[in-house]
Amino acid sequence: MCHATEGGLSLEGVDLDKEAVIQGVVTRGDTPVGGAYVRLLDRTGEFTAEVPTSATGHFRFFAGPGQWTLRTLAPKSEPVDRAVVATIGEIAEVQIAV
């Protein structure tokens, strides 16, 4: 099974048919923001997980299927919330501008 990804973190060794992936990149203007923090909040707004972005601004969660909110905290920026829907066997790509 071939899934297109938009670069970023490797998905080697991950069985994507079983995962509901949410991933993306945090940017400021045209520049990726490394060391930002992306929080995964469930449909009630409750914290579920948090990851720092890579040097290239990328992040990824293996979420459950359903509605989620990504809250991004970055230096010198206000928090940014983005709604996203995750589905098993698919990759939800999210571009976040801070």
Partner 1 sequence: MSRDAVLVTADWAEEHLDDSDVVLVEVDEDTSAYDKGHIRGAVKLDWKTELQDQVRRDFVNQQQFSELLSAKGISNDDTVVLYGGNNNWFAAYAYWYFKLYGHDKVRLLDGGRKKWELDSRALSEDAVERPATTYQAKEPDLSIRAFRDETVDAIGTKNLVDVRSPDEYAGRLLAPAHLPQEQAQRAGHIPTAASIPWSKAANDDGTFKSDEELKKLYEEAGVDFGKDTIAYCRIGERSSHTWFALHELLDQPNVKNYDGSWTEYGSLVGVPVALGDEPGEA
Task: Using the minimum distance from each CB to partner 1, give the nearer residue, 4 or 15.
Answer: 15
Rounded Cα distance between 22 and 4, Å, is: 13
Task: Using the minimum distance from each CB to partner 1, give the nearer residue, 50 or 93.
Answer: 50
Give just the sign of the alpha carbon dihedral 34, 35, 36, 38: positive
Name the minimum Å distance from CB 75 to partner 1. 4
Name the minimum Å distance from CB 74 to partner 1. 7
Task: Using the minimum distance from each CB to partner 1, give the nearer residue, 57 or 61.
Answer: 61
Single-letter amino acid, residue 60? R
Beta bridge partners of 73: 37
Q: Which of 3, 2, 75 is nearest to 60 (CA)?
A: 3
Rounded Cα distance between 40 and 16, Å, is: 19
Name the minimum Å distance from CB 76 to partner 1. 6
- Contacting positions for partner 1 (CB under 8 A): 35, 37, 39-40, 42, 46-52, 61-64, 71, 73-76, 79
